[in-house]
Structure 1
Amino acid sequence: MTVEKFLVNPEDLRSLYGRIPRLAGIRVRSVNLNWRGPTVTLRVDLPSFPESAPREWVDAGFDTVQCQFQFLAVERISLADWTPPALGGLEMAPHGIERRMRVAFRGDGLSLEFDCSESVRVGHVSAFKTAENGLDDGGHLFMSRIDARRHSSLPGTQDRTFYER
């Protein structure tokens, strides 16, 4: 089943890739658990850089696209083996009750499963150049005009407007 079915706002990813990229071979950079909602937000590096990336990203020498996936009304969460950054695959499938789904990420460094609403929000789409040590703490260029005005790199984890909304 395609992930696109569950995305409520796939436009940014579709404009970059012409389609929604497969979520196999993604790198999970962070997992944010929020009791309000309750919500799980995953910050991930997508598996490939788009062929038709914005000129600004190409000129900056960027090689990675990053975004957040936010899952709402989360229940029955299981998180194990958290050794970031984790590389693996994200799967979403309908789960029994109407308008609910099961989400699973399994790979090197993370095992995560939970049930949630069938509505996934994509946010904070950006590009950056992966450092030699694999970190993403350098400059980022964001697709959203608001993010681009507010941030030139990833904000600290205390920035609730970035990691929780």
Structure 2
Amino acid sequence: MDVWTEILVDATALRAVYGQDTPSLEGINLHSIEIERDGPSVLLRFDLRDFPKKPPKKWTISAFNRVQLSLLAVGVSELQINGLRSDCMINLEITKENGIIHIRSYHGAIKIDIKAEHLLLGSISSYCEAPSV
């Protein structure tokens, strides 16, 4: 199985935050899915389960404890979405076979299946998530 970060067009920003560690795409909290006809493209925005071992100094000073990514699939040829809840904890799998990137969710409230030509890191940010009571 491919390491998902190697499928990104440019993983420089992600490596700057996580170093050689590859953040897991299991147990992510999906916030949004944006579909654009131009490209066509699909943007997934979600919180990662794992916080970096050595976060940027700005994040440490601000007491941030959650990392949010957006991944942009471009040249989308297939898209399926099934289900939706306000609490969308999912596992995401990203693979590449015969030049086609396959992004799919499993073990969650929403099922996503995307086939695309390219996958870009749209953004990486951090914030302070209040503890659950």
TM-score (norm 1): 0.72
Deviation of residue 56 (structure 1)? 1.7
After TM superposition, list the pairs within 5 Å mapping 1:72-91 onto structure 2.
Answer: 72-91=74-93
Deviations 1:77-113 (A, max 9, x none): 1101111341121112234xx3112210123321100
After TM superposition, list the pairs within 5 Å mapping 1:49-128 onto structure 2.
Answer: 49-95=51-97, 98-117=98-117, 119-128=118-127
Cα separation, partners in 2 of 1:54 and 1:5, compared to 1, 3 Å: closer
Are 1:7 and 2:8 an aligned pair? Answer: yes
Question: How far apart are the structure 1 equivalents of 2:107 and 2:32?
Answer: 14
Contact kept? 1:68, 1:123, Cα under 8 Å:
yes
| Structure 1 unpaired stretches of 5+ | 134-165
Give the 3-state SS of the residue equivalent to 1:79 in structure 2. Answer: strand
Residue 44 of structure 2 is matched in structure 1 by: 42
Deviations 1:118-137 (A, max 9, x none): x211022111011357xxxx
TM-score (norm 2): 0.88
Task: Give 1:4's aligned amino acid.
Answer: T
Contact kept? 1:32, 1:40, Cα under 8 Å:
yes
Structure with the bigger percentage of strand: 2
Q: Alignment identity in percent?
A: 24
After TM superposition, list the pairs within 5 Å mapping 1:142-157 onto structure 2.
Answer: none
How many residue pairs align between the two structures? 131
Are 1:16 and 2:17 an aligned pair? Answer: yes
| Structure 2 unpaired stretches of 5+ | none
Between stretches 99-108 and 59-68, larger displacement belongs to: 99-108
Question: How far apart are the structure 1 equivalents of 2:103 and 2:51?
Answer: 24
- Alignment RMSD: 1.8
Question: How far apart are the structure 2 equivalents of 1:122 and 1:94?
Answer: 16
Which protein has greater RCO, CA pairs closer than 8 Å, 6+ apart? 2
Residue 159 of structure 1 is matched in structure 2 by: none
